[in-house]
Chain A
Amino acid sequence: MPPFLKISCFQKSKKKYPLLKFLNAIAPYLFFALIWLLCILILNFTLGSALAPNPIAILKKLWALIYSTELFRQLGITVWRGLVGVFFANIVGLILGVLAGKIGFLLRFTAPLVAGLQSCPPIVWISFVMVWAGTGSLVPIATVFAATVPFVFSNTAQGVMGLPVRVLSMSRLYDVPFWRVFTKVTLPGILPYWLAGLSTVLATSWKAAAVAEFMGSQDGAGARIYWCYSHLNLEELNVWAISLIVLGILLEGLFITPLRKKAAQMAAQGEACL
């Protein structure tokens, strides 16, 4: 039997041929890049180069933005604003989440508000911040903060409520000091929930930041998209669209998926011996 027909041999070949493994990993991306290429060619043919530029022009523009480092600068601004918003959302969400998890009344009282805030579109926050603080970095940072803090809050509160009750009983029985319970039981117990929340928050943050920049900032990837749209610069618009998709794939692969896996792994380990 040829080796590629046997699963065990195929698995061995993965170890033997790293190139094959690499091609296997990038195949979906190449496939969708090909689809994009076909679509852009069809649009270019039907709508004309003014509305749908040809792929060569887009790639030239991409190279120019990479060469001038403008691409990285603008994407960096967007990611930085997202991270600042996430940072403050985590501080506020963790403190309030721990309190709500400990005080059942507080959680019940805030539940409708949190549910409302979680489903609230970022446009609401963008409008308010633009009215109160004008345009600039504050708009995307405040938008990311407002869009992500309910997730951190509810996940942290769930984590506190999911702490092993028997372990807490055992801690009281042996008079374990508060700080030891907090650092050895409470914080690690919350961690899987917080990591799961953080993965959602990271995925939301850069998208919210880009939308906020589109409406209320002078720089950042979102602001560049607005500039391209208002100047009908379709070549650069395509470049920013591709860049944001690639950024999303990188964030997903490098941070969000590993965080979700780690959270699921920790939760499973905890359940295995309780």
Chain B
Amino acid sequence: MSLISLIKVTKSFETKLVIKEASFTLEARSVTLFTGSSGIGKSTLLEIMAGIQAPDTGIVKRSAPISFMFQDNALIPWLTAEANLSYILPKNSDPKKWAERIAALLDFFQLEKGDYPHTMSGGMRRRLSLARTFLLKRPIIILDEPFAFLDENWHHLVSSLIVEAYRDNAALVIAEHSLNPALKEALEEKITVCELQDSPIELRLE
């Protein structure tokens, strides 16, 4: 089942063409990894998939809600770690029902519920951003450089979460500079690696 479809999507910033007629289909229970150097347009591609950015031309179809981890975390500076997580809870949901899952995620990522993002290190903010992404268990999870600012031990722990989401039938899209050894070890042949070498991105994954 196709969860996201990109059909001949083009995107440019002023005169610079970043994505040229890219086509891509995301199936359920899949892991797709986009690798490539900085500035090639990986984040733009992911944000177009999620609907954060609109393409100049082309069609984007989405058939399921998305969890997205932003490259710059997009945390709310004046809310605590716990409040940053509960901020995205669905309308009319019972916070008590979610309290246990939020506590478990904060515990997993070794974060204090009362800490504010401005008091955290870069790695801690990354972990909080990851915790928010995995909170809702949505069918599509898009991760923009999930291993950045994290040490090797955390690479294994984050990879284990990715595997868990994959086993729960989620479709995952990840952008990284290269295939992380921890992720490779965890997912083995289940991962589809797409190396983006040239700009503009001309993707054909249908």
A residues sitting closer than 8 Å to B (CB atoms) are 164, 166-167, 169-171, 173-177, 180, 184-185, 188, 266, 269-270, 272-274
Q: Does B149 contact A (CB under 8 A)?
A: no
A–B pairs, 13, beta carbons within 8 Å = A167-B75, A173-B50, A173-B51, A175-B91, A269-B77, A269-B118, A270-B118, A272-B77, A272-B117, A273-B73, A273-B118, A273-B125, A274-B72
Query: Assuming the A-B contacts A176-B88, A177-B91, A180-B87, are A166 and B79 also in contact, with contact meaning beta carbons closer than 8 angstroms in the complex?
Result: no
- CB within 8 Å: A-B pair count: 58
Taking a contact as CB atoms closer than 8 A, the residue among B70, B118, B120, B125 that contacts A170 in the complex is B70
B residues sitting closer than 8 Å to A (CB atoms) are 50-52, 65-68, 70, 72-79, 83, 87-88, 90-91, 116-118, 120, 125, 136
B68 touching A173, Cβ below 8 Å: yes
Chain A residues lying within 8 Å of B125, measured Cβ to Cβ, are: 273
Chain B residues lying within 8 Å of A273, measured Cβ to Cβ, are: 73, 75, 77, 117-118, 120, 125
Closest 7 pairs between A and B when the two form their complex, measured CB to CB:
A166-B74, A273-B117, A174-B88, A272-B118, A269-B118, A170-B74, A270-B77
Chain B residues lying within 8 Å of A171, measured Cβ to Cβ, are: 87
Which secondary structure dominates where chain A touches chain B?
helix
Chain B residues lying within 8 Å of A266, measured Cβ to Cβ, are: 78
Query: Assuming the A-B contacts A173-B50, A175-B90, A177-B91, are A167 and B117 also in contact, with contact meaning beta carbons closer than 8 angstroms in the complex?
Result: no
CA distance A272 to B75 in the complex (A): 11
Chain B residues lying within 8 Å of A185, measured Cβ to Cβ, are: 76
CA distance A175 to B79 in the complex (A): 18
B66, B73, B76, B79, most chain A CB atoms within 10 A? B76
Chain B residues lying within 8 Å of A270, measured Cβ to Cβ, are: 77-78, 118
State how many angstroms separate the Cβ of A220 from the closest Cβ of chain B.
39
A169, A170, A177, A272, most chain B CB atoms within 10 A? A170
A167 touching B74, Cβ below 8 Å: yes
CA distance A173 to B91 in the complex (A): 13
